[in-house]
Structure formats: structure tokens, C-alpha cells
Chains A and B, each alone.
Chain A
Amino acid sequence: MNAERQTVYRWSFIWSGALVALVGAVLLGVAISQADAWARVSGMLGLSGLGWGGILQTLNALGLTAMRSSAVESVAALPGQRFLFAGAVVWLVGWVLIAGGIRRAPPSSEGPSPAAGAQLYPRLANYRDFYWSTLGAYGGGILLSELVLILLQTFLSNGGGASAEGKGLPPVGAFAISLIAASLVAFVAGFIGASRARRLAMPEATIGVIYLGLPVPVLLSLMERLPDLQVSLGYRLREVTYVAELLGRPVVGYWLVFSLLVLMLVLGINTGFIAAGSGRVDLKLGFELFVARRHVGVFRPSLLLGTLAVLLFGIIPPLIVYGIIRAVEAAVERTRIRALGLEDPLAAASALNRLKLREQSPTMMMTALSVGGVGVGVMSLIIVLSVMSGFEQDLQQKILGAHSHVVVTKYAGHLREYPRLMEQIAKVPGVVGQSPSIDNPVMVLADDEVQGIVLKGIDPETVGTVLDLPQNMLPGGSLENLTHPEKIVPRRSLGGFGLREPEQTEEEFDPIIGRPTKSAEEQALPGIILGRELAAILRVVVGDRVNVISPQGAELGPAGLIPKSRAFRVAGIFYSGMYEYDAKFAYILLSEAQSLFGTEGPSGIELKVADVDDARRIASQVRKELGGYPYNARDWGEIHRNIFSALRLEKLVMGIILSIIIVVAAGLIVATVIMLVLEKRKEISVLKALGVSDGGIVKIFLSEGLQIGLAGGLLGLFSGLAWCFFIEKVGIKLDPSVYYIPALPVKIEPVQTALAVIIAVLVTYLASIYPALKASSVEPVEGLKAE
């Protein structure tokens, strides 16, 4: 049987085997469905995916055998049993076929070779295919990095607020430090493992990551589902879960971090292989860069400027400009050559030749495309993330304008003792303002209009140290009117051009309290400050009268409990710029609120802190200062957690989606570098013959990919920043009826921007690992033979 036929047979065996096994799997699936057992089986199947299923099943079976004596003997026949047996048999037959296919062909029909018994060539004799030490380095490294991350995070940060131990760093800062430390551990572990084995040792890496790296994130993810686990681990891991929850979806956070650590491990492995894979550490790059730069000329002005132009202005305009420049250039050149030709025909002919030769090679085009691809990815990442940060900042500003940074409350009852508490709180460093307040939902009425709002009792003296309310007051009213309601000018005396009829009677019958009240003008009603939108809904202006009805502090009337009602005069109108607040908030004097709600003190003390991002730590210090229970202090991040975590999740998802562009660009880089490797096979052989080691070849091609990534990343950075500045300075108008913000907000966050570039460069580095390894495996004789 000749070799080709044999190959065909082998392949048909393997393929038909795979098909048969698939049919078997389907049959098994049918059997499971009929038995309605997916729920029970899926856990096991999932574990089998990791390779643990078999071990667990064996343990399980052992346990069953042990218990057998007491077990019920008769097992009810399963519904899909026939399918189960058939499926299992077919599945096995499929694998037998595959095994038959991979049987090796007999080496030679010509008897033993003359070399039988000769000394084996030394490198082959020394070959080892598995390194336990490397497995230890990889697996131990990834596990250690996870533990370092978790422990360092718990140690450095302030313990989620309640506990006193820890270094008291803000959680995000602590997380950043721990993440860097953990990444370093993973990188070093990869480096050590690869340099010990002197090769990439992928089996070791896979085993290490799956068996030692996966359990921690799996455990963390499961914690959500299993309340028992949460109880036993939750307290210790609160720091970790807190940071993960900042993303809005903790599980996403765990796996992102895990992937990052694996990435760092892979980078370490690769670097270790290059540096020491061939016997000694050699990180010098001079020669490799010299060769790489000749292969791909990324850093040439024409390519960089061209790509930058495309990123900034789109494809068409630069293309037109380029066409014009080329045409003009060619015309000038030809004129020059013609003039030259009159004097020196030889030089002219050579110049003409050179003009024609200036063509671009396909690799050149691919290089430009890859640079552009990475650039587009980084640019869009930077723009979109900056705009989203802008929205977030805008929202934060507005929320923090209307809400305080930290609120101190009491678990039960009211803060009658607030002056003492305020003195104590003032001692906490970082607190720059405080004001007592009380708030409750009420209904507010003005003639025919009704609106449900939050009514807040404030102290006009101190409220300015906490909220932006004084600055947000629209002209015409003022905060002082709250304390001196007699200063409010009733509207009728302004000239009476209002829409409503002036009140006719002295005695007015209030339809809601069901009691006659005095005329609105004569009574010095307490003042109320409304949001602009609320005023518009109620159709009132400063000086108008509104009624507030509160379910809290209801009074006993003739017909049972009657909600309390009070009349107020609009003392001022504020505009915060956030629809929610302008339509849903009203402020009155603290003492008025106390009597309206029937409480004996404010419900909370609102604080302002110097650094908004430090609010969490300060809140915990305030709590400590007040001696904990029954007092509690919550920061704004905690109070408004839902909206911010939704925003962050959205940002994360956008980031991931846009990173796909970078991944596609990385695909382009893989293609480009593979093309380069194929194109340069002969050169690789020659370089090896001249004494370049495998590591050197890897370095050459890695730096080619990296050049592309770096150029793309930097171009993306420049164009992204340029676009952000454009949006900021020139502005993109938003529809005011929809957005309530005049223009698209932008906030360039340096860390986030740098991260986009770094990720792009890392991804391109990863992308060029495979082609570079391919290049290094070209044998020296291979290229020397190919003519």
C-alpha cells in the first residue's frame, strides 16, 4: 500500500470516528433529556471539562460502594435507558475508530538501519518532555498570584469600612497595588518556569492554570450562588467582593482579573523562553532591532503621517490629498527628468527607472493596514471611554451637588443630640462641612397640580457647606427667605398678572384639611424652596402658595387619621441641572420639617469631605469617632451604588466590545508577521547559519509585531486625544430635550487612556508570539535547500 493511500485511510478513519462519536454524544444527550437529568448531570459535565469529573466520579463511586449495604437494591428503570446504552456503545466505537486512525505507519520496509546500536546524538538523548519543576512554577505561580492579590487587597485596604485593621488605603488604590504585585508574581513565575524548561512548556502551563489557577475564581463565582459559602467566606473576602462589585457584576470582575493574571503568566513564559530558553539570559536587542527594522519599516514618516491622517479625517479626504500630492510630485519629477535628459540621457534613464521601482510590496501594505487597525481600535477605545467618563463625571457632579458626600444616621430614632455629634465629627480630618437634615416623601399641591416629591428640612446656616443649593438658587428668591418668611413678597402685590384669579374671600376653605384658614396674604407662611422643574409642573413662582401633605406625622381627625397638611410660600427656586432633582426636591426649614413630620430631631447629618474619592474611608473614620452602633455613616458611593455600578458595567462592556477591534487588528498582525516569516524563510536560515540563535530569531519577529503594535497604539493615542480635545473644545451639541446636558461631555482619564494603549501593545505582542515561534523553528538547512 503506498503512502498516499495510507494517509487517506488514516484520515477517513479519524473523521468517521469523530462523526460516530458525535452521534453517540447526541444519543447520550437524548437519553439525558428523556430522564430529565440535565440539571443533575450538568455539574459533572462541567467538571469533566476541567478534567476533574473522572476523579470525582471515582470518589463518588467508591463512596457508593461503601454505602451499598444499606442502599436500596432495586433501582427504577430510567426512561431513556435504551438510548443510554446505544449512545455509550456508539460513542466508544467512535473513539475506537479514531484510535485506529492515529496508529502510526510502519517506518520502513527495508529492514533495520545500519545505524542500529550507534550512539544517539546527544541532544536527542538529553531530551525531556515534562518538567515537574516547571509545572510547579506555573501552577504555583498562578495560585500564588491570586492569593497575593486577595491577601494584599485585604491587608492594604480599610476593610470595607467597618473593621479597624488594615492599612486604610482606599479600596481602589489598594486593588491597583495588589493587582500590580500579583501580575508581577505571575510574570516571574512564568519566566522562571520557562527558563528552567528552556522551552514554552505548554502542557505544563495548561495543567498548572487549570488545576491550580481555576479553583479560586470558580470559588468566588460560586459564592454568589451558594449562601453557605458566602457566609463562611464572605466576611474575609468582603474587600475583594467590594472591589469586584464596583464593576456592577462581580463575576465579570473575577474572571477579568483571572484572565489578566493568566496573560501575565503567558507573557512571563514567553519572555523567559526568549531570554533564557536557549541556555542563558540575553535581553539585548540591538542586532535584532537592526534586522527587524529592515523587514518592516513602520517608523517612517510617510506611513505614520498617512495613518494618522486617516485616523483623524477618515479615509476619503486623506486619499484625495494623497492622490493630488502624488500627481503633482510625479509631474514635477517628470519635468525634472526631462530637463535632465537633455543634458545627460543616462542619468535621466536611471532616474526614470527608480521612479517606476518605487512600488509598495504586499507586506508593506499589510503592515500599514495592521498599524491602522490597531490605531482605530485604540482611538475608538479612548474616545468612547472618555465620553463615558464624561457622562459619569457629569452625573457624579450633579448627584453630589444635590446630595452630600457622607450621611450620618442612627439605626433607630432621631439625632436629637446632633450638636454634640457635629462637634465630634468636626474632629475627623477630611470633613469640611456638615449640616443636619431630615427628609421624607410628601405630596405637594398648588391649585390643580399635584406632585409627589422628597421634602427636605435643612439648616440654612450650614447647608451651604455641604450642598450647592445656595449657588443653585435662581434670582428672585433666596435661602434667607426660609428663616425670614415675612420677607417673601406675595405674588399679588407684584402686580397680579398671574394666570389665577386672585383669592376672593378673607376666610379660605382648605379642601384637604377640611378647615377654614386665613387668607394667604395675611398669614406669614413658612417658606419652601422648589426645583425649577417642580415649579414648572406646579405652575408656581416665588411668592405663590403651595400645600404640602405628609403621610408622616398624621393627625387624628374626625374621620380617623388625616395626613398632615401645611401651607408654604415659595421662597425661592433652584436649578441644579439634573432633571431628577429639579423635579423631585423641595427644601424647608429644619424646624418646620420637624414639626411637620413630628420628629424631635434631624434624621441625619450630612457631611462634605475634601476628597470625594476618599469619602468611603472618611465615612468609616466618622463611624469610628462616633463609636459605631447606633450611629452609621454611609458615603455617596454606597448610597447611589446602583446607578454608578450600572454606569461602570456599561463602560466595561463598551471597553470589551471595542477591544474586539484591537483583537481583529491583532489578527491582522498575526497574518502580517506570518507573511513576513514565509517571505523570509531563506533569510531566517541564513541568519541561523551565521549564528543567530532561536531566541534571536524570536526576538526579531516579536519586535516586528511589537513595532506595529507600538506604532498603532501611539497613533491611536494621538488621534484619540485629538478627537477628545475636539469634542471638548468645539463640542458636539446634544438634544436638550433628551439629555439635559448641552454638549457631549468628555473626561480624559490618564490611567484609563494609558491602559488602552498598554492593552493594545500587549495584545499585539501576544499576537506575534506564534509567528515568531514559527520563524524560530525554521531549520537552517530548510531555507538553504529551497531554491
Chain B
Amino acid sequence: MSLLSIRNVFKSYFLHGKRIDVLRDVTLEINRGELVSLVGASGAGKSTFLHVLGTLDPPAAGELLFEGRSVFAMNDAEIAEFRNRTIGFVFQSHYLLPEFSALENVAMPALIQRRDRGESYAYARELLERVGLGARVEHRPGELSGGEAQRVALARALVLKPAVLLADEPTGNLDPATGEGIHQLLREVNRDLGITAVVVTHNETLARSMPRRLRLVGGQVTDA
């Protein structure tokens, strides 16, 4: 059984009486341990697709199955818990919480799960060291550079060892070298921890280096 299956998902926006069909009848399977890239023109609906995949945005119709279980049929608390345990997000910009230090930000998903604070911080520190930020644990997001913040965000997405990692142009705002570093990290995570990852990118060469490539055109997602 595939890890994630998307069945006949539709998503449209209505604005001023006009309809924008962003996703039209998307059906797709993603298997455990896959590393998938998703490309598409700007405004094609890549972010929207990723949000539906990550349960942040309910589809207008259709189903999302995780290990055969319909995710959107769950109630609010169960969805929140699912999001917390199963999915790790890295967004285009880092979206760290400004009042908390890098360490607290990374540990946040574990704290939400009401895990022991000491243990969470210890593991968060380990992760931060792994992404090369051992010297920045006490910094607030405002005191980090863009690339550093993005690495903290990646560490935060990984702290609970989620089954799925969703990354929306994680390197969009970074210089090529730093971006390559992040992509390297993603590949490592996928290989070493066995985390299934879907990465949205504009970088064609990068996309081509991924084992599986998806393309979003005209509201349809196809293997490229």
C-alpha cells in the first residue's frame, strides 16, 4: 500500500464571481521512502497542492488517504495530531516563531506533543548541531541569517521524525551554494532516516536530480 494517496482532489478559488480551478481531479500515489520533486509554472498551484497534501487546506472535493485512512474524515484534534506527528513542513520562508530561541523553535513540535522538555531540548540541540548551527541555539529568529533560519526550520520539521516531509521552495530565497547545502541535507534525511519527501522547486537541474519528478500543469499532476 502506498503511503499517501490523493484521490480525485479538486480545489478552486472563487473571486469576484470568477472561478480559478487550481487542482482538477488530481489522483496520485506516493510510496514510502520516495524522494519526489514537484515543478510547475508560477501560479500553477504547487503551494496549494502541498497544503492539501499537508492537511493545511481542505480540498473542495476528493480524498487524501494516509496508509489507507481518510485524513479529512478525522476531527479537528485528530487532524492536528496527524499534522504534528506525521508531517514536517519547510516553507518558502522560514516561518519561525519570533518570541522563541532557535532551540525552542526546533523543539516546538515535541512540546506541542507534551513531550518531556529536557529530552526535547537535548534532541533539538543535536539536530541543530547536525545542520551546522550548534553555535546559534540561543539566537532568536531575528538574529539569524536567511540560510540559518531555513536550516533551523528544516531541523524543526525533522524533530519528531515525521513520515512525510513537505518542502515548498525551501531554497527560493537563498544563494545557490546555500541552497545546494539545504538540498544536500534533504537527500541525506531521505536516505538516512527513510523520510518520504516532496520538494517543490523552480530549479530544473535540482528537480532532475531527484529520483521521482512530478509536474503540475493545468491543474493536473503528472509524472514527468
Q: How far is the CB of A226 from chain B (nearest CB, A)?
A: 50
A695, B77: Cβ atoms under 8 Å? yes
CB of B80 within 8 A of CB of A121, answer no
The answer to whether A690 touches B84 (Cβ under 8 A) is: yes
Q: Contact partner of B109 among A109, A110, A690, A780, CB < 8 A?
A: A690
Most chain A CB within a 10 A radius of its CB, from B85, B89, B112: B112
Q: Is the CB of A691 within 8 A of B84?
A: yes
CB within 8 Å of B: which of A692-739? Answer: 692-696
A279 touches B77 (CB 8 A): yes
Cross-chain contact B99 with A122 (CB below 8 angstroms): no
Chain A residues with CB under 8 Å of B122's CB are: none
* Contact A287/B10 with A108-B19, A295-B99 known, Cβ cut-off 8 Å: no
Q: Min CB distance, B63 to chain A, in Å?
A: 7
Given the known interface contacts A119-B61, A122-B72, the answer about A2 and B19 at a Cβ–Cβ threshold of 8 Å is no
Which of the segments A200-208, A397-405, A470-478, A681-689 contacts the partner chain?
A681-689
The contact of B70 among A3, A114, A122, A282, by CB within 8 Å, is A122
* Residues of chain A lying within 8 A (CB to CB) of residue B45: none
- Is the beta-carbon distance between A691 and B57 smaller than 8 angstroms? no
| CB pair A120 B54 closer than 8 Å | no
Give every chain B residue within 8 A of A121 (Cβ-Cβ): 58-63, 72
Q: Is B56 an interface residue (CB 8 A)?
A: yes
Interface centre among A109, A284, A689, by most B CB within 10 Å?
Answer: A689
- Which of B72, B77, B114 is in CB contact (< 8 Å) with A284? B114
Indicate if the CB atoms of A123 and B77 lie closer than 8 Å.
no
List B residues 62-84 near A (Cβ within 8 Å).
62-63, 70, 72-73, 75-84
- A284 neighbours in B (Cβ, 8 Å): 114
Known pairs A122-B72, A290-B111; A693 contacts B95 (CB<8 A): no
Within 8 A of A (CB), among B83-100: 83-85, 89, 91, 93, 95-100
Residues of A within 8 Å of B89, CB to CB, are 689-690
A784 close to B (CB within 8 Å): yes
From A109, A689, A696, contact of B54 by CB (8 A): A689
Instruction: Contact check, B112 vs A690: say whether CB atoms are below 8 A apart.
Output: yes
CB distance A119 to B63 under 8 Å? yes
- Shortest CB distance A113–B (Å): 6
Contacts A122-B70, A279-B77, A691-B83 known; A113 to B10 CB distance under 8 Å? yes
Interfacial chain A residues near B56, Cβ < 8 Å: 688-689, 780-781, 784
B residues near A115, Cβ cutoff 8 Å? 10, 12, 24-25, 60-61
Inter-chain contact A784/B91, CB cutoff 8 Å: yes
Q: State whether the Cβ of A286 lies closer than 8 Å to any Cβ in chain B.
A: yes
Residues of chain A within 8 A (CB-CB) of B83 are 688-691
Contact of A682 among B21, B84, B95 (CB under 8 A): B95
On whether A696 and B14 interact (CB within 8 A), knowing A119-B61, A123-B58, the answer reads: no
Q: Is the CB of B57 within 8 A of A780?
A: yes
* A114, A688, A787: most-surrounded residue (chain B CB, <10 A): A114
Q: Is the CB of B21 within 8 A of A287?
A: no
Query: Within 8 Å of chain B (Cβ to Cβ): is A107?
Result: yes
Nearest to A294 among chain B residues (CB) is: B99
Do the beta carbons of A686 and B95 come within 8 Å of each other? yes
Residue numbers in A under 8 Å from B96 (CB-CB)? 686
Tell me if B31 counts as interface (CB < 8 A to partner A): no
A residues 246-288 touching B (CB-CB < 8 Å): 277-280, 282, 284, 286-287
Question: How many A residues, CB 8 Å from partner?
Answer: 50
**Interface: B108 (CB within 8 A):** yes
A123 contacts B73, CB within 8 Å? Answer: yes
B195 CB to closest chain A CB (Å) equals: 17
In the bound complex, CA of A511 to CA of B59 (Å): 108
Is B17 in contact with A105, judged by CB distance below 8 angstroms?
yes
- A403 and B86 CA atoms in complex are apart in Å by 78
* Docked pose: A124 CA to B60 CA in angstroms: 9
Min CB distance, B28 to chain A, in Å? 15
CB atoms of B54 and A118 under 8 A apart: no
Question: Chain A interface mostly helix, strand, loop or mixed?
Answer: loop
- Nearest B residue to A120 via CB reads B61
* B114-A287 in contact (CB<8A): yes
Q: Is the CB of B21 within 8 A of A113?
A: yes
- Chain A residues with CB under 8 Å of B91's CB are 784
A442 CB to nearest B CB, Å: 80
Within 8 A of B (CB), among A278-313: 278-280, 282, 284, 286-287, 290, 294-295
Task: State the total of A-B contacts with C-beta under 8 angstroms.
Answer: 136
A589 to chain B, nearest CB (A): 81
A273 to chain B, nearest CB (A): 11
Tell me the nearest residue of chain B to A115, going by C-beta. Answer: B10
Task: Tell me, in angstroms, the Cα distance from A659 to B132 when the chains sit together.
Answer: 57
Determine if B112 and A198 form an interchain contact, defined as CB atoms under 8 angstroms apart.
no
**A106 an interface residue at 8 Å Cβ cutoff?**
yes
Among B25, B61, B80, B113: residue with most chain A CB under 10 A = B80
Cα distance, A693 to B81, chains bound together (Å)? 8
Q: Are A119 and B111 in contact (CB under 8 A)?
A: no
Query: Are the C-beta atoms of B111 and A113 separated by less than 8 Å?
Result: no
Q: How far is the CA of A599 from the CA of B10 in the complex (A)?
A: 101
Q: Which residues of A contact B84 (CB under 8 A)?
A: 690-692
Assembly CA distance A122 to B9 (angstroms) = 12
Which residues of the other chain, A, contact B17 by a CB distance below 8 angstroms?
3, 105-109
Among B21, B85, B112, contact of A692 (Cβ-Cβ < 8 Å): B112
Instruction: Give chain B nearest CB distance to A173 CB in angstroms.
Output: 43
B99→A113 contact, CB < 8 A: no
- In the assembled complex, the Cα of A282 lies from the Cα of B75 at a distance in Å of 14
With A110-B19, A114-B25, A682-B95 already in contact, the answer to whether A688 and B58 are too (CB < 8 A) is no
A122 touching B16, Cβ below 8 Å: no
Minimal beta-carbon separation of B25 from chain A (angstroms): 7
Minimum CB–CB distance from B213 to chain A (whole Å) comes to 25
A687 — which chain B residues lie within 8 A by C-beta? Answer: 97, 112
Interface residues of A in 103-145 (CB under 8 A from B): 105-110, 113-115, 118-124, 126
**Is A287 touching B112 in the complex (CB atoms < 8 A)?**
yes
Chain B residues with Cβ below 8 Å from A290 are 111
Alpha-carbon distance between A692 and B21 when the two chains are bound, in angstroms: 30
Hey, which chain B residues are within 8 Å of A106, CB to CB? 17
User: In the assembled complex, how far is the CB of residue A180 from the closest CB belonging to chain B, in whole angstroms?
Assistant: 32
Pairwise interchain contact A787-B93, C-beta atoms closer than 8 A: yes
B98 x A692 contact (CB < 8 A): no
**Of all chain B residues, which has the CB nearest A105?**
B17
Nearest chain A CB to B8 CB, angstrom units: 6
Residues of A within 8 A of B18 (CB): 108-110
Check: B161 CB closer than 8 A to any chain A CB: no
Known A113-B10, A198-B75; contact A691-B21, beta-carbon cutoff 8 A: no
On chain A, the residues within 8 Å of B59 by CB distance are: 121
In the complex, the chain A residue whose C-beta lies closest to that of B76 is: A278
Q: How far is the CB of B52 from chain A (nearest CB, A)?
A: 10
The reply on B187 being an interface residue by CB < 8 A is no
A689 to B63, CA, bound (A): 19
A691 and B112 contact, CB distance less than 8 A = yes
B51 at interface, CB cutoff 8 A: yes
Task: Give the CA-CA distance A397 to B73 in the complex, in Å.
Answer: 69
In the complex, what residues of A have CB within 8 A of residue B51's CB? 780-781, 784
Distance in angstroms from A363 CB to nearest chain B CB is 11
Most chain B Cβ neighbours within 10 Å, of A107, A198, A284, A781: A781
Report, nearest first, the 9 A-B pairs whose CB atoms are least far apart. Answer: A691-B84, A278-B77, A693-B80, A115-B10, A122-B73, A294-B99, A118-B61, A279-B75, A278-B76
User: Which B positions have Cβ atoms within 8 angstroms of A?
Assistant: 8, 10, 12, 14, 16-19, 21, 24-25, 51, 54, 56-63, 70, 72-73, 75-85, 89, 91, 93, 95-100, 108-109, 111-114, 156
25 of the cross-chain contacts (CB-CB < 8 Å) are A3-B17, A108-B18, A110-B18, A114-B10, A114-B24, A115-B25, A115-B60, A118-B8, A119-B8, A121-B62, A198-B75, A280-B77, A287-B112, A290-B111, A687-B112, A689-B56, A690-B84, A691-B80, A691-B81, A691-B85, A692-B84, A694-B76, A695-B76, A781-B56, A781-B57
List 13 additional contacts besides A106-B17, A279-B78; criterion CB under 8 Å. Answer: A3-B16, A113-B12, A114-B10, A114-B24, A115-B60, A118-B8, A121-B58, A122-B72, A277-B76, A278-B77, A682-B95, A695-B77, A787-B93
